[in-house]
Chain A
Amino acid sequence: MSDQEDDIILSELNDEELVQQMHDDLYDGLAEEITEGVNILLERGWEPYNILTEALVAGMTIVGHDFRDGILFVPEVLLAANAMKAGMAILKPLLIETGAPRMGKMVIGTVKGDIHDIGKNLVSMMMEGAGFEVIDLGINNAVESYLEALEAEQPDILGMSALLTTTMPYMKVVIDTLVEKGIRDDYTILVGGAPLNEEFGKAIGADSYCRDAAVAVETAKDYMARKHNQLAAG
């Protein structure tokens, strides 16, 4: 039926068309095509950082918006993020080599007792998609493992996630421990997970509750911008 449409040759597209096509391919979760697209742009002399922002991050932003608006759901977003990852695998070493600007650094993990890491993985992938460096602690993290990672990585942001009512109060345990140690204000703390809401986030002392991965990225960018402004002003 649409044989013709299958026959798009990426290398025959001009830069603008190719970037558009990569947005579509990210949306459709086509990892091989993204890999090919990234390589073509590199061959054409594009800066790795420009490929990241204009082709990949811009494409994932569309995915993020449609996820936020209830048009795309988790399976589609996971496939898109997977395609993004394929592109990042090529770009990551080049970005480090070329000293491209960094958005910020985040340590993220699901709290003790909770293995529901779908939302956390989405946040992790979309934060990377937005150019953040992400240290993912995985599932079932006790307060000690958060502390260790904060010490070792010195991130800007700490992200915590829980899906079950039985595990969400543990976020407060972590934040209370940071307060006790006097290091709470060294980090922006973002929390998320299906049973949570904004009031809960405030009540346990987090900086923000993020409804979904797209919101988490926007919120993280906001906080980083504020941080930069403060540094500039100070």
Chain B
Amino acid sequence: MTDALTQLMTERDWLLADGATGTTLFNMGLTSGDAPELWNVDKPDNIRALYKGAVDAGSDIFLTNSFGGNASRLKLHDAQSRVRELNRAAAELGREVADATGRTVVVAGSIGPTGDIMEPMGSLTFDSAVEMFHEQAEGLKEGGADVLWVETISAPEEYKAAARAAELAGMPWCGTMSFDTAGRTMMGVTSADLAKMVETLSLPPLAFGANCGVGASDLLRTVLGFAAQGSERPIIAKGNAGIPQYVDGHIHYDGTPDLMADYAVLARDCGATIIGGCCGTTPDHLRAMREALETRPRGEMRPTLDQIASALGGFSSASDGTGDDAGPRPDRRSRRRRS
């Protein structure tokens, strides 16, 4: 049987994903520092409302409230023994909301990073990462998720571990990284690196891309970087609604619905198929994005960096490490080889 996402992608040439989870839950009273995943069991109505917010605003895909639902992260809340249960609940609530819509809405089981550093710099081994992700994947699968959705990853090995976990769980998956450091991930991965890496996996993702990071402009530069690799694989763009600000005790993102509407259309012109928001993206933003994607024509050509900057604001760094203007690499200081 074809999964719901693959099905939708054969019918349509763009899909709207969802917006923010954390920002929305805060507005419902989640306390800073607490685990959002516990609400899947403790406050299911809030999670239904979160999902419905995206669905009612026109999202074709929404992510489950399970981003931090791996054993390593849940351990902070002494809930590491509840991985399966909390992920299953996240997906079950999603299934319920999706099935009530009467149209095809994809329930994407969110999987975030473990937070640990991979070997050799850190203590996390590939095998233990696979094991943690696999446990989470099985919970999401049981709850009825259509696909797994790996996001905000910065280390290539962790991305590969999640891919392996999806394979073990027999689930189709999508995977995005967060390019937040001079156009690369924190671990130095460029957009070109990711585009190449996904093709080397034994179970490649249905779609790959970028989420979070630094604002909408940077994210689109990353999407252009994927597209420049000539990949036929669908590209995901899930950017933040601007930059976070602290207003009256709340985190507020400065990107308006109008700006995110422009971002959505530009993302499609840059080559993205699955377009959504990340932190700060509310249902109001999603509605504006949906309307723009439905009513505005596709551009004739890929937008240039200048066009992106003039529509959405400047970039956080001069280069993103790809192409001819890639920054200098530290070869000047390699007089000694590592033995």
**B121 contacts A75, C-beta separation under 8 Å:** yes
Asked if B279 and A74 make an inter-chain contact with CB atoms under 8 angstroms apart, the answer reads no
Q: Which residues in A have their C-beta under 8 angstroms from that of B200?
A: none
For residue B22, CB closer than 8 A to chain A, the reply is yes
Inter-subunit contact A166/B32 (CB<8 Å): yes
B251 touches A169 (CB 8 A): yes
In the complex the two chains form, what is the Cα distance from A68 to B117 in whole Å? Answer: 20
Decide: B76 and A139 in contact? CB cutoff 8 A.
Answer: yes
Q: Is A219 an interface residue (CB 8 A)?
A: no
B243 on the A face (CB < 8 A): yes
* CB 8 Å contact bits of A42-79 with B (1 = contact, 0 = none): 00000000000000000000000010011111111011
Closest chain B CB from A13 CB (angstroms): 12
A 82-97 contacts with B by CB, 8 A: 82
Q: Quick check: B244 and A165 within 8 Å, CB to CB?
A: yes
Residue B187 at the chain A interface, CB threshold 8 Å: yes
Q: Within residues 137 to 172 of chain A, which ones have a CB less than 8 A from any CB in chain B?
A: 139-140, 142, 164-170, 172
A73-B187, A165-B22, A169-B251 given as contacts; is B336 within 8 A of A5 (CB)? yes
Partner-contacting stretch, out of B42-50, B100-108, B177-185, B303-311: B177-185
Residues of B307-339 contacting chain A, CB below 8 A:
317, 319, 321, 327-330, 333-339
Please determine whether A166 and B76 come into contact, CB atoms closer than 8 angstroms.
Answer: no
In the complex, number of A-B residue pairs with CB atoms less than 8 Å apart: 133
B181 and A70 contacting across the interface, CB-CB below 8 Å: yes
A11: Cβ under 8 A from any B Cβ: no
- A116 near B: Cβ within 8 Å? yes
Query: In this complex, which of B25, B183, B186 has the most chain A Cβ atoms within 10 angstroms of its Cβ?
Result: B186
Contacts of A73 in B (CB 8 A): 181, 184, 186-188
Binds B, one of A179-187, A197-205, A224-232: A197-205
A24 to B337, CA, bound (A): 11
Contact call B330/A72, Cβ cutoff below 8 A: yes
CB of B246 within 8 A of CB of A169, answer yes
For the complex formed, measure the closest distance between the CB of B28 and the CB atoms of chain A, giving whole angstroms: 12
B: interface residue count bin: 35 or more
A166 vs B327: C-alpha distance when bound (angstroms): 33
Q: Given A66-B330, A113-B35, A115-B72, does the pair A28, B182 have CB atoms closer than 8 Å?
A: no
Whether B337 pairs with A200 at a CB distance below 8 angstroms is: no
Task: Name the one of A70, A166, A195, A199 contacting B321, with C-beta atoms under 8 angstroms.
Answer: A70
Cβ of A27 and Cβ of B33 under 8 Å apart? Answer: no
CB-CB < 8 A to B25: which residues of A? 166
Given contacts A30-B338, A73-B187, A200-B245, contact A164 B22 (CB under 8 A): yes
* A residues in contact (CB < 8 Å) with B: 2, 5-6, 8, 21, 24-25, 27-28, 30, 33, 66, 69-76, 78-79, 82, 111-118, 139-140, 142, 164-170, 172-173, 194-197, 199-200, 203-204
| 11 A-B interface contacts by CB (under 8 A) | A24-B333, A27-B330, A73-B188, A76-B188, A165-B22, A167-B33, A168-B244, A196-B244, A197-B243, A199-B246, A203-B245
Instruction: Using A113-B33, A165-B20, A172-B246 as known contacts, list a sample of 8 further A-B pairs with CB atoms less than 8 Å apart, ordered by residue number in A.
Output: A24-B334, A28-B334, A28-B338, A66-B330, A112-B32, A114-B33, A117-B115, A196-B244
In the A-B complex, the 6 residue pairs with the smallest Cβ-Cβ separation, listed nearest first, are: A73-B188, A70-B182, A112-B33, A113-B33, A203-B246, A115-B115
